[in-house]
Amino acid sequence: MEYQILHPSVTDGVMVLTISRPQALNALNSLFFTEMDHLLSHLPQEVKIMVITGEGKAFVAGADISEMVDKSQAEGEAFSLAGQAVFRKIEQLSIPVIAAVNGYALGGGCELAMACDFRIASTLATFGQPEVNLGIIPGYAGTQRMSRLIGKGNALYLMMTATMISADEALRMGLVQKVVAPELLMEETLKIAKTILSKGPTATKLVKEVVNLGLAMDFDAASKQEAQRFGSLFKNEGEVGMRAFLEKRKPTW
């Protein structure tokens, strides 16, 4: 499939996926979801980690408002569910997914960033859930992800007031993990990607799986599935890594 909005490029196992519809500040339209769904279902084996970013002054300025305005109640619900399914696919990819937030991450754009494993932001990035300005609420499961990520008070503050916050404020709230100068955003993100790629690949995959599965469970069940996966690394990658430590050398995974 030829992509029009998504521009994937792969180097050394890292796919940088650029959302490119800058004339509309990369607002997410139905073509975006078609392309993203296709891309996620056809990721080449060589891709070990994904970085999502936006072209121009926005990461993503939200869902495309012009596509939503005339929808009926049933269409609105279906629209939300369809977008949620694609974001869930991103969240459930077995490889790490990092958001490199270059500019506006508003509404559905902030929701997309939250569906990634973590977020590195440029000082030019702005975050917000301005849906109530439009008489709607976040619909790509952002209400759920945001309250889990930054706590109910911070989430409701952002969602009720539609306040746009800077990257530094987002860092303070725990919405992003690191803030860097705009010209260093990709370099720093790729450095982090490389660090992750140097770790035990199965352990990296399992740590994501365990956290995501556990968040949907009660504490005891969540801890149990952690122990089960912990055990699965023994006589396996875990032995390689621990033996290397004891022998004072680097592991070869």
Specify the residue, 38 or 71, whose C-beta has the smaller distance to ligand HXC: 71
Neighbours of 118 (CB within 10 A): 16
DSSP state of 140: S
Catalytic annotation present for 77: no
* HSE value, Cβ hemisphere, 13 Å, CA-based, for 200: 19
Segment contacting ligand HXC by CB under 6 A, of 9-17, 75-83, 86-94, 198-206: 75-83
How many residues touch ligand HXC under the rule CB under 6 A: the total is: 23
Q: Strands 104-106 and 126-128, how do they pair?
A: parallel
Query: Three-state DSSP class for 234?
Result: coil
Q: Which of 33, 59, 87, 104 binds ligand HXC (CB under 6 A)?
A: 104
Interface residue with ligand HXC, options 5, 99, 106, 112 (CB under 6 A): 106
| Contact status: 90 vs ligand HXC (CB under 6 A) | no
Q: Check binding of 139 to ligand HXC (CB under 6 A).
A: yes
Separation of alpha carbons 251 and 253, rounded Å: 6
Using CB under 6 A as the binding rule, whether residue 54 contacts ligand HXC is answered as: no
Active-site entry in 111, 183, 187, 239: 111
Q: Residue 79 interacts with ligand HXC (CB under 6 A)?
A: yes
Q: Which is nearer to ligand HXC, 110 or 193 (CB)?
A: 110
CA distance 24 to 241: 47
| 130 is an interface residue for ligand HXC by CB under 6 A | yes
- Whether residue 111 lies in the annotated active site: yes
The active-site residue out of 46, 77, 131, 183 is 131
Alpha helices in the chain (DSSP H): 30-41, 65-68, 73-92, 108-115, 142-150, 152-161, 167-173, 185-197, 201-215, 219-232, 237-246
Q: With binding defined as CB under 6 A, does residue 108 bind ligand HXC?
A: yes
Residues noted as catalytic: 111, 131
